[in-house]
Amino acid sequence: MVVLVVGVALAATALVGLAVQATRGNGVVGVQRDAATIHGAALDNAFYHCVDVQVRSLVAPGDPVLLGGNLSDLITLMKSSGSWITVADPPSSATATVKLRDDVTGPGACLGTVVVATYLHPHDGIVLRTGTGASLPGSGPPPAPPL
Protein backbone atom coordinates (compact mmCIF):
# COMPACT_ATOMS: atom_id res chain seq x y z
CA MET A 1 0.00 0.00 0.00
CA VAL A 2 2.86 2.40 0.84
CA VAL A 3 4.41 1.73 -2.55
CA LEU A 4 1.11 2.42 -4.26
CA VAL A 5 0.44 5.69 -2.39
CA VAL A 6 3.97 7.00 -2.71
CA GLY A 7 4.09 5.94 -6.34
CA VAL A 8 0.91 7.76 -7.28
CA ALA A 9 1.95 10.84 -5.29
CA LEU A 10 5.41 10.88 -6.80
CA ALA A 11 4.16 10.44 -10.35
CA ALA A 12 1.64 13.24 -9.86
CA THR A 13 4.24 15.53 -8.30
CA ALA A 14 6.73 14.90 -11.09
CA LEU A 15 4.19 15.47 -13.84
CA VAL A 16 2.77 18.60 -12.23
CA GLY A 17 6.27 19.97 -11.73
CA LEU A 18 7.16 19.24 -15.34
CA ALA A 19 3.90 20.74 -16.57
CA VAL A 20 4.40 23.97 -14.64
CA GLN A 21 7.94 24.36 -15.87
CA ALA A 22 6.91 23.40 -19.40
CA THR A 23 4.35 26.19 -19.37
CA ARG A 24 7.03 28.63 -18.27
CA GLY A 25 9.40 27.30 -20.89
CA ASN A 26 6.85 27.74 -23.61
CA GLY A 27 6.44 31.35 -22.51
CA VAL A 28 10.20 31.93 -22.66
CA VAL A 29 10.26 30.69 -26.24
CA GLY A 30 7.35 32.98 -27.04
CA VAL A 31 9.40 36.01 -26.00
CA GLN A 32 11.60 35.41 -29.03
CA ARG A 33 8.70 36.46 -31.22
CA ASP A 34 7.67 39.67 -29.55
CA ALA A 35 8.02 42.98 -31.34
CA ALA A 36 11.01 44.26 -29.36
CA THR A 37 13.02 41.11 -30.00
CA ILE A 38 12.18 41.14 -33.69
CA HIS A 39 13.12 44.82 -34.01
CA GLY A 40 16.38 44.35 -32.12
CA ALA A 41 17.37 41.36 -34.26
CA ALA A 42 16.57 43.18 -37.49
CA LEU A 43 18.60 46.21 -36.42
CA ASP A 44 21.50 44.01 -35.35
CA ASN A 45 21.54 42.16 -38.67
CA ALA A 46 21.22 45.38 -40.68
CA PHE A 47 24.10 47.01 -38.80
CA TYR A 48 26.58 44.18 -39.31
CA HIS A 49 25.49 43.72 -42.91
CA CYS A 50 26.07 47.42 -43.50
CA VAL A 51 29.57 47.31 -41.98
CA ASP A 52 30.36 44.15 -43.95
CA VAL A 53 29.35 45.76 -47.24
CA GLN A 54 31.56 48.76 -46.50
CA VAL A 55 34.52 46.50 -45.64
CA ARG A 56 34.01 44.59 -48.89
CA SER A 57 34.08 47.88 -50.77
CA LEU A 58 37.57 48.49 -49.45
CA VAL A 59 39.31 45.10 -49.40
CA ALA A 60 38.93 41.81 -51.26
CA PRO A 61 38.83 38.42 -49.46
CA GLY A 62 42.42 37.61 -50.38
CA ASP A 63 43.93 40.97 -49.41
CA PRO A 64 46.03 40.71 -46.25
CA VAL A 65 44.94 43.47 -43.89
CA LEU A 66 45.38 44.60 -40.34
CA LEU A 67 42.44 45.38 -38.09
CA GLY A 68 42.81 48.55 -36.05
CA GLY A 69 40.94 50.54 -33.45
CA ASN A 70 39.77 50.00 -29.91
CA LEU A 71 38.51 46.69 -28.55
CA SER A 72 34.89 47.47 -29.28
CA ASP A 73 35.62 48.36 -32.90
CA LEU A 74 37.78 45.27 -33.35
CA ILE A 75 34.95 43.07 -32.13
CA THR A 76 32.51 44.83 -34.46
CA LEU A 77 34.84 44.23 -37.40
CA MET A 78 35.28 40.58 -36.44
CA LYS A 79 31.54 40.11 -36.11
CA SER A 80 30.81 41.69 -39.48
CA SER A 81 33.69 40.43 -41.63
CA GLY A 82 35.89 38.18 -39.53
CA SER A 83 34.73 35.02 -41.28
CA TRP A 84 36.22 35.94 -44.67
CA ILE A 85 38.77 38.68 -44.16
CA THR A 86 42.46 37.77 -44.51
CA VAL A 87 44.56 38.85 -41.53
CA ALA A 88 48.13 39.85 -42.38
CA ASP A 89 50.95 38.10 -40.59
CA PRO A 90 53.57 39.47 -40.42
CA PRO A 91 51.95 42.90 -40.16
CA SER A 92 54.36 44.30 -42.72
CA SER A 93 52.63 42.21 -45.39
CA ALA A 94 49.36 44.10 -44.94
CA THR A 95 48.00 45.99 -47.92
CA ALA A 96 45.74 48.08 -45.72
CA THR A 97 44.67 48.77 -42.17
CA VAL A 98 40.91 48.61 -41.64
CA LYS A 99 39.31 50.60 -38.85
CA LEU A 100 35.97 52.01 -37.82
CA ARG A 101 35.23 55.65 -37.37
CA ASP A 102 32.42 56.25 -34.90
CA ASP A 103 30.05 59.16 -34.25
CA VAL A 104 29.79 60.04 -37.91
CA THR A 105 26.73 62.07 -38.85
CA GLY A 106 25.09 62.24 -42.22
CA PRO A 107 24.49 59.70 -44.98
CA GLY A 108 26.80 56.82 -45.75
CA ALA A 109 27.18 55.66 -42.15
CA CYS A 110 26.00 52.51 -40.44
CA LEU A 111 24.26 53.77 -37.29
CA GLY A 112 26.90 56.51 -37.11
CA THR A 113 29.84 54.26 -37.95
CA VAL A 114 31.86 54.12 -41.15
CA VAL A 115 34.64 51.80 -42.22
CA VAL A 116 37.92 53.39 -43.24
CA ALA A 117 40.97 51.77 -44.78
CA THR A 118 44.48 53.16 -44.74
CA TYR A 119 46.74 52.16 -47.65
CA LEU A 120 50.42 52.83 -47.99
CA HIS A 121 50.68 53.88 -51.66
CA PRO A 122 54.18 53.76 -53.19
CA HIS A 123 53.75 57.18 -54.85
CA ASP A 124 50.99 58.98 -53.01
CA GLY A 125 52.02 58.04 -49.49
CA ILE A 126 49.22 57.20 -47.08
CA VAL A 127 45.83 57.01 -48.75
CA LEU A 128 42.64 56.97 -46.73
CA ARG A 129 39.43 55.56 -48.20
CA THR A 130 35.97 55.33 -46.70
CA GLY A 131 33.68 52.37 -47.18
CA THR A 132 30.69 52.63 -49.48
CA GLY A 133 27.73 50.63 -50.71
CA ALA A 134 25.54 50.57 -47.64
CA SER A 135 24.20 52.84 -44.96
CA LEU A 136 21.87 52.61 -42.02
CA PRO A 137 20.33 55.76 -40.57
CA GLY A 138 20.48 56.30 -36.84
CA SER A 139 23.15 56.49 -34.21
CA GLY A 140 25.00 54.26 -31.86
CA PRO A 141 25.57 50.53 -32.06
CA PRO A 142 22.51 48.29 -32.09
CA PRO A 143 21.20 47.02 -28.76
CA ALA A 144 23.39 44.15 -27.60
CA PRO A 145 21.72 40.75 -27.85
CA PRO A 146 21.67 38.65 -24.67
CA LEU A 147 25.01 37.17 -23.64
Q: At its nearest, how many Å lie between other proteins and the CB of residue 92? A: 13
Q: At its nearest, how many Å lie between other proteins and the CB of residue 67? A: 6
Q: At its nearest, how many Å lie between other proteins and the CB of residue 113? A: 16
- Between CA 37 and CA 144 the distance in angstroms is 11
Residue closer to other proteins, measured from CB, 22 or 128: 22
Residues near other proteins, by CB under 8 A = 1-4, 6-11, 13-15, 17-19, 21-29, 31-33, 37-38, 40-42, 44-45, 48, 66-67, 71, 74-75, 78-79, 82-84, 86-87, 89, 144-147
Residue closer to other proteins, measured from CB, 10 or 120: 10
Residue closer to other proteins, measured from CB, 11 or 127: 11
Residue closer to other proteins, measured from CB, 21 or 139: 21
- Between CA 7 and CA 10 the distance in angstroms is 5
**Are the C-beta atoms of residues 136 and 104 closer than 8 Å to each other?**
no
Burial group, residue 9, by CB count within 10 angstroms (0-12, 13-18, 19+): exposed
- Between CA 106 and CA 128 the distance in angstroms is 19
Q: At its nearest, how many Å lie between other proteins and the CB of residue 90? A: 10
**Are the C-beta atoms of residues 128 and 118 closer than 8 Å to each other?**
yes
78: how many CB neighbours lie within 10 A of its CB?
13
